[in-house]
């Protein structure tokens, strides 16, 4: 038995050297996967937010177009009536807010003005003005910003003693490279 071959012994490794390397590799892979997952979640959130804003804007535009089409359809039906009845019905629709086109309102008011004496017509002349609020950050709305624009307008000398009525408003938005959205409000006024 003394001559029995001894099993070959492997050289001893430093304790834990391969497990440290394996652990650091696994840890690096887990961190990289977590970072990639967070980045994907952020991109998905940005895309979702953008998509939601685009859908809202599209719905607003479609609603605006449908309102315009309905208003023009009403005007077409009214135009088939005799002039006196048509004018009465049109005035009623404008007063009730069923026909909201600012040009129709101004035309009706000018028609009344044309029956007055020349001095009264000049005195009651109407001017339609569309002004912009300029680009502002979120958190505002059309009513708020149009009131600011109206205040600026009424402080001008040529409009001091005039009646300023808001006929309509709209808004535009834009997004910069960092995803920050700004808005511009367009306000239409009748000044008499």
Assigned domain for 165 exists: yes
Q: How far apart are the first and last CA of the chain?
A: 124
Compare 97 and 172 and report the one with higher pLDDT. Answer: 172
pLDDT (mean) for 55-66? 85
Alpha carbons 28 and 22: distance in angstroms, whole number: 10
By C-alpha distance, which of 166, 169, 186, 167 is closest to 103?
A: 167
Residues forming a β-bridge with 183: 136, 173
Assigned domain for 91 exists: no
Placement of tokens 């006196």 in the chain: 84
Assigned domain for 45 exists: no
Whether the CA torsion 40, 41, 42, 43 is positive or negative: it is positive
**DSSP 3-state assignment of 4?**
coil
Query: Where are the strands (E) in 8-147, listed by range?
Result: 127-137
* pLDDT value at residue 124: 56
Assigned domain for 174 exists: yes
* pLDDT value at residue 15: 53
- State yes or no: pLDDT of 58 exceeds 50: yes
Assigned domain for 130 exists: yes
Assigned domain for 38 exists: no
Task: Count how many domains the chain has.
Answer: 1
What is the extent of the structural domain holding 151? 125-192
* pLDDT value at residue 35: 92
Instruction: Tell me the pLDDT of the chain averaged across its residues.
Output: 78
Q: Residue 137: phi, psi to the nearest 5?
A: -70, 180
The HSE-up count of residue 160 (CA atoms within 13 Å, CB side) is 2
Assigned domain for 180 exists: yes
Assigned domain for 172 exists: yes
* pLDDT value at residue 23: 79
* pLDDT value at residue 64: 82
Residues forming a β-bridge with 172: 184
* pLDDT value at residue 4: 60
Q: Helix crossing, 17-79 with 83-96: angle to 10°?
A: 150
Compare 181 and 82 and report the one with higher pLDDT. Answer: 181
In the chain, the percentage of residues whose pLDDT exceeds 70 is 81
For 68-125, what is each residue's pLDDT tens digit? 787 777 777 777 777 777 777 777 777 777 777 777 777 777 765 544 444 454 455 6
Alpha carbons 136 and 95: distance in angstroms, whole number: 33
Q: What is the CATH number of the domain that holds 140?
A: 3.30.1660
**DSSP 3-state assignment of 153?**
helix
For 15-49, what is each residue's pLDDT tens digit? 555 666 667 788 888 888 999 999 888 888 888 88
For 125-158, what is each residue's pLDDT tens digit? 678 888 888 888 888 888 888 888 888 888 888 8
């Amino acid at each position: 038995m003394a001559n029995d071959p001894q099993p070959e012994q492997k050289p001893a490794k430093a304790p834990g050297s391969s497990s440290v390397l394996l652990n650091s590799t696994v840890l690096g892979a887990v961190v990289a996967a977590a970072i990639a997952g967070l980045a994907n979640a952020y991109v998905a959130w940005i895309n979702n937010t953008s998509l939601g804003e685009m859908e809202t804007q599209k719905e607003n535009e479609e609603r605006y177009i449908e309102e315009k089409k309905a208003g023009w359809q009403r005007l077409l039906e009214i135009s088939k009536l005799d002039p006196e009845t048509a004018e009465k019905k049109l005035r009623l629709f404008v007063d009730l807010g069923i026909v909201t086109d600012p040009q129709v309102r101004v035309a009706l008011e000018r028609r009344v003005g044309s029956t007055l004496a020349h001095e009264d017509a000049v005195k009651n002349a109407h001017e339609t003005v569309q002004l912009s609020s300029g680009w502002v950050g979120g958190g505002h709305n059309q009513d708020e910003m149009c009131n600011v624009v109206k205040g600026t307008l009424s402080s001008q000398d040529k409009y001091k003693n005039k009646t300023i009525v808001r006929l309509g408003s709209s808004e535009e938005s834009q997004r910069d490279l960092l995803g920050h959205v700004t808005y511009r409000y367009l306000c239409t006024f009748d000044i008499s």
